[in-house]
Amino acid sequence: MPSPPQSIVQAAEHLPATLRRDFERRWGAFAETLAERGETPPPELPDVLPDVWAVSEFVFETCRRDPQGLDTLLRSGRLARPATREELDAGVGAALAACADETSFMQTLRRVRRWELSRIAWRDLAGDAGVDEVLTELSWLAEVCVEQALRFAETQLEERHGTPRTADGRRMRLCVLGLGKLGGGELNFSSDVDLIFVYAAGGETDGPRPLDHQQYFIRLGQRLIKLLAELTSDGFVYRVDMRLRPFGDAGPLAMSFTAAEDYYQTHGREWERYALIKARAVAGDLEGGGQLIRALQPFVYRRYLDYGVFQALREMKELINQEAERKGRVNNVKLSPGGIREVEFIGQAFQLIRGGRDAGLRLRGIREVLCRLVERGLLPSWAEAQLQEAYAFLRRVENRLQMAADQQTHALPAEESGRLRLAWSMGYGDWESFRAALAGQMRRVHEHFEQIFAAPQADEDERDGGERRFARLWARGTAEELAAMLNELGYTQAEAAARQLIDLRDSAACRSLTETGRERLDRLMPLLVQAAAGQDRPDVVLERVLGVIQAIARRSVYLALLVESPMALSQLVKLCAASPWITRQLARLPLLLDELLDPRSLYTPPDRAGLSRELELALRDTAVDDLETLMDRLRHFKEAQVLKVAAADVMGALPLMRVSDQLTWIAEAILDRVLATARAQLVERHGEPRLHDGRAAGFGIVGYGKLGGIELGYGSDLDVVFLYESEEGAISTDGERPLDGAVFFARLAQRIVHMLTAYTAAGTLYEVDMRLRPSGASGLLVSSLRAFSAYQLEQAWTWEHQALVRARFIAGTREVAEAFESVRSQTLARIREPNELRREVREMRERMWRELGNAASQRFDLKKDPGGIADIEFLVQYYVLAHAHEHPELLRYTDNIRILEGLSAAGLIDAADADFLTDAFRTLRDRIHASTLQAEPALVDAGEYAALRAEVGRIWRACFGTGQD
């Protein structure tokens, strides 16, 4: 009987005594087999052999049964490098090529699988393979085995019944969907494979004994399961679990794509959404399987934020915990608190909640999901690092538990030898040090799990007496009983508030709630009433918040969001208390409730560059040609960003100038993207419009009014003009369907206006006013730069030049921007006759007041009445038109504040008057913003700003010699 080489003897000396004796015993058994066969050990045994054989009886037994196979493996060099998917496919296929019958096929497939598993385990236990490599190769091996078995089964069945075909005659194959860790490409060493069998469509096979397609594919599935799962003297390939298919064990083994879609739409349950996250076509009809999975995405990923997932996964985890305890699986690296399942739940909760709106979260592998959560700001980087480390550690433990004997186990060993073997395989010298390291990893996982999943509001048994009492009254109390309790909580109009609660409880929206929705509402109401009671005017606040609840009640996921997030509920109450305008926005667009989750972001709106980055992130997974999705996401982005500005505004976190800056920056970022998208869509179809030198003709958007003056308010329209480059002679696009250049840019402008103004489920982006374009409403939608220049210099009225003072290039190409600035400067810097200019400006202002001003003398319109915003704007415009030819620096800015600073610096207006007008302008704009947020018109009592109006009137008269009565 051959002894081990001296190098192997020496390599075994570092093993603990128990493991060394195990290795020596196994070498003896290996040597006996060699002696019986008259063989000698392979000449080049690696020094890691004792480490591998000492901890894996499975690898040892594979080598003992087939010493020549060991020699072949060592000579191949495959232990020195990872395998590729193609290499596995070719190797398994070559081994099976000569199998003529089912018996030889099953025998060969099992032997190939055993050697490939041994190779993977060897590299892992020798420290030559990382956990990602091991999981990937295990998944590839399973895919290859399933595909090879499916092909063999198809050959057998088609010989008898013919081939199933599509309506156009193409061969139809079974699609094998892999779920769980196989679908995620994360298969463990001794795993089941969770499969679903589907096929494209009904029909009959084309053989001499035809079968209905469903019967054919059911028989094919049965044969496939037998080839993989039947236990023979060579073992099995994979245990096959079909319980996750539609209708479970009661459902057909194979189902058509249409039937599967119908099932999930009609009968799909919450846990099936979770199961389908990792679904992937792993064998057979891969293309059809991919199409089916894409079709099922709306079932898996809701369009809205689905915070009900937290409770569903909590309940699922509780059932798992109960089952684990019932079966004694306490020390379980998969199911125990802090185990592998909790890491997966953390990532998949965020996927189910947000995947409908963020396609970038629709990933299968948990490690990639955790990385993506950090990119999205949903998980701190330090938490992700801890979870990644723990997950890798736990998956190594799981695999090494299973590599010992190819058994599907996740339980820590109870016997001393098993414990030492596991600890040593993980790099620890004893069980105690390994157990401490494992406990630390699992503790950190469970802490993160609890932080994310722990019910944020107290359970029924833990509620205080007031909450329990209110919950009972809300469910079935009278108005008088509710009023008494509300009075105790500090509501001053308790009877009216009680009636509002009763009206909500008895409303059609609440009566039609599902059981889940009703449970969420019942849980929310005590929390909401107490939160409103903490505000200064609880009755007003409660009325506003109930309006939001009424609007969102039918979408109970939003109720779940408020129950699950005390922060979101707190911010909702706070913002409703501060602004009825914000209240209406939240009721109109419940998606905005998501913005309440993070006060750091809510009250700190991003700057101009940050807005562009956030918009890119919001649209990152939107195809250019998916106009409907693009428009909805643009609208959601705009409303979310405006909400942040309003929230920061009402809480005093933004000064007036920043409010208008922020609102203007939002519009600029959106116009940039809308222009880029609209142009890309047209170029895709018609090509680029080319100038005679071959350069693409430029296009630009010019903003007038509040947009140009960087003074947008909440709900402001956009005053815009579209300009493009042209030349003498016609230009056209260079695509397969060419257009005249002017037609191209007219369609571009139309498309931009459509994207901004079209009404979708998310509302409109902006109302667009284009009356300031050359020739107004009767003019062309878009103007060439030459036509625009000629109009401004030769035909435009003085009031149009006044508007040009506030005009600013917003989006488009640099050449158009430079040309526009040149035209603007030339136009505004013209020498004008002072008295004529003064008369025209004054008459235009008086006409504006007569037509648009407030006729009631006891009220003051902050924008349009004498002494208000319009007077200050007209004064500024007059001074620019009168003096820009001598002071071109006045043309640098388009906003009133900085122009007033320029006028003062140039000595054209008294410094004290300039300071007063600046303060007055800020004061009135601030009041207009505040009125908007309080859902009030820009009208105040005439006496409120009497002194300010009088002083503005004095400055007006000093300039124009008269005023408005």
Q: Could you tell me if 220 and 399 are in contact, meaning their C-beta atoms sit under 8 angstroms apart?
A: no
pLDDT score of 954 more than 70? yes
Largest CA distance in the chain: 122
Please state the pTM of the whole predicted model. Answer: 0.78
Give the model's pLDDT for residue 965. Answer: 43
Average per-residue pLDDT in the chain?
90
Average pLDDT of the residues in 864-879: 94
Q: What pLDDT digit, counting tens, does each position of 539-579 carry?
A: 999 999 999 998 888 888 888 888 888 888 899 999 999 99
Phi, psi dihedral angles at 8 (to 5 degrees): -75, -40
Answer whether 194's CB lies under 8 Å from 249's CB. Answer: no
Residue 784 backbone dihedrals phi, psi, to 5 degrees: -75, 155
pLDDT for res 329: 55
Q: Indicate the Cα dihedral angle 411, 414, 416, 417, nearest 10°.
A: -50
- Radius of gyration over every alpha carbon of the chain, rounded to an integer in angstroms: 37
- CA–chain centroid gap for 469, Å, is 39
CA angle 471/477/482 to nearest 5° reads 80
Whole-angstrom CA distances from 63 to 16, 58, 116, 124 are: 23, 9, 12, 16
Residue 508 has pLDDT above 90, yes or no: no
Asked if 766 and 719 touch (Cβ cutoff 8 Å), the reply is no
Q: Tell me if residue 534 falls in helix, strand or coil.
A: coil
Decide if 902 contacts 876 (C-beta within 8 A): no
- The predicted-structure confidence for 438-481, as pLDDT tens digits, reads as follows 999 999 999 998 888 765 554 444 445 566 778 888 878 888 98
In the predicted model, what is the mean pLDDT of residues 808-834? 95
CA distance to 426, 546, 586, per residue, from 505 (Å): 59, 11, 20
pLDDT higher than 70, residue 902:
yes
**Chain centre distance of CA 580:** 29
Could you write out the DSSP letters of every residue in 652-710? T-S-HHHHHHHHHHHHHHHHHHHHHHHHHHHHHHH--BB-TTSPBPPEEEEEEHHHHTT
506 or 668, greater pLDDT:
668
Q: Please say whether the beta carbons of 67 and 30 come within 8 A.
A: yes
User: Residue 330 above 70 pLDDT?
Assistant: no
- Look at residue 856 in the predicted model and tell me its pLDDT: 65
pLDDT value at residue 328:
58
pLDDT the model gives residue 307: 72
Average pLDDT of the segment spanning 766-770: 92
**Pairwise CA distance, residues 465 & 476, whole Å:** 17
For 267-271, 454-458, 484-488, which range has the lowest pLDDT when averaged over its residues? 454-458
pLDDT at 474: 83
Give the tens place of pLDDT for each residue, 794-818: 999 999 999 999 999 999 999 999 9
For residue range 911-925, list pLDDT tens digits in order: 999 999 999 999 999
Higher pLDDT, 755 or 305: 755
Q: What is the pLDDT of residue 552?
A: 86
Q: How far apart are CA 22 and CA 319, in angstroms?
A: 40
Q: What is the pLDDT of residues 614-626, one digit of tens each?
A: 999 888 878 877 8
What are the distances in angstroms from CA 279 to CA 182, 255, 370? Answer: 9, 16, 18
Token code pair at residue 853: 């001003």
- pLDDT at position 778 over 50: yes
Instruction: Tell me which H or E stretch contains 64.
Output: helix 57-65
Distance CA 23, CA 748 (A): 77
Query: Which pLDDT score is estimated for 774?
Result: 84
Give tens-digit pLDDT for 387-442: 999 999 999 999 999 999 999 999 999 999 999 999 999 999 999 999 999 999 99
Q: How far apart are CA 663 and CA 933, in angstroms?
A: 14
pLDDT band (50, 70, 90) for residue 855:
low
Whole-number pLDDT of residue 462: 43
- Give the model's pLDDT for residue 457: 52
Predicted pLDDT of residue 353: 83
Residue 235 binned pLDDT confidence (cut-offs 50, 70, 90): very high
Q: What is the pLDDT of residue 478?
A: 86
Assess whether pLDDT exceeds 60 at residue 864: yes
CA distances from 474 to 59, 471, 485, 488, 520 (A): 65, 5, 11, 15, 13
H or E segment and range at residue 596: none
Confidence band, pLDDT 50/70/90 cuts, at residue 144: very high
Percentage of residues of the chain with pLDDT beyond 90:
64
